[in-house]
């Protein structure tokens, strides 16, 4: 097992979840039905700040290289928030970050991070599409840049997983990634249902 194998397994096991988290209904849920540019930007910024908050909590990790990775990713997340929104803020973290924050071992934390990046890449892909459809090419390019940055950060997490995991560690990492993806999907379903929208159909 390696990080590439794990990512492929996650995409296969959660195919339905990813297809829906990358849909326009997911964007509707993220913005609480406010499908305008400012709301999309605010949602992206809040997602980034929520990640930074979790990574700050992990500053006590025993591995120096992993601690450095967390610090780098937290700083990048704050930069992302500032790049997409004029006044980025976080009122309440999404459930996937509550799940992520609960992990204690390095394999779990890195596996959970991989799951988070896979989810966020689905969100950002839809955000690019939103701004293309909104005839805002500058914003679309901003979010293409964000997507590229997230892909690079995902790759750094994958490299850290390969360095940190062996044997049963991969089971811990996979279970953590599963939990994060499932938390994101459950939140998507529950949010749409609370708005009177059926989440099953993919837009």
Question: Is the Cα dihedral 160, 92, 184, 179 positive or negative?
Answer: positive
CATH of the domain at 83: 1.20.910
- Closest by CA to 47, choosing from 17, 76, 70, 18, is 76
The pLDDT value given to residue 186: 97
How far is residue 157 from each of residues 52, 74, 110, 120, 185, measured CA to CA in Å?
15, 13, 6, 14, 22
199 lies in some domain: no
Domain that holds residue 178: 3-194
In a domain, 125, yes or no: yes
Condensed to tens digits (0 to 9), the pLDDT of residues 72-121 reads 999 999 999 999 998 898 888 899 999 999 999 999 999 999 999 999 99
In this predicted structure, what is the pLDDT of residue 202?
Answer: 44
Domain count, the chain: 1
- The model's pTM is 0.95
202 in a structural domain: no
* In a domain? residue 201: no
The distance of Cα 14 from the centroid of its chain, to the nearest Å, equals 14
106-to-4, 45, 58, 147, 165 alpha-carbon distances in Å: 18, 26, 10, 25, 9
Quote the pLDDT of residue 203.
43
Position 140 in a domain: yes
Ranges of residues in the chain whose predicted pLDDT is under 70: 200-203
pLDDT on residue 200? 66
Asked if residue 162 is part of any domain, the answer here is yes
């Amino acid at each position: 097992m390696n990080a590439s194998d794990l990512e492929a397994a996650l995409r296969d096991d959660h195919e339905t979840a990813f297809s829906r988290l990358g849909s326009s209904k997911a964007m509707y849920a993220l913005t609480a039905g406010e499908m305008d540019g400012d709301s999309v930007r605010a949602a992206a910024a809040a997602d980034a700040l929520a990640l930074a908050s979790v990574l700050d909590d992990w500053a006590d990790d025993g591995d120096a290289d992993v601690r450095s990775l967390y610090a780098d990713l937290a700083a990048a997340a704050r930069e992302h928030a500032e790049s997409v929104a004029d006044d980025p803020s976080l009122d309440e973290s999404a459930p996937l970050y509550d799940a992520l924050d609960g992990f204690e071992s390095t394999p779990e934390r890195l596996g959970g991070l991989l799951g988070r990046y896979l989810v966020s890449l689905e969100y950002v892909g839809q955000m690019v599409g939103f701004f293309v459809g909104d005839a805002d090419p500058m914003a679309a390019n901003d979010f293409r840049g964000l997507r590229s940055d997230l892909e690079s950060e995902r790759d750094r997490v994958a490299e850290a997983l390969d360095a940190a995991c062996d044997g049963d560690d991969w089971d811990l990492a996979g279970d953590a990634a599963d939990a994060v993806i499932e938390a994101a999907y459950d939140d998507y379903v529950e949010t749409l249902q609370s708005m009177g929208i059926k989440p099953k159909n993919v837009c």
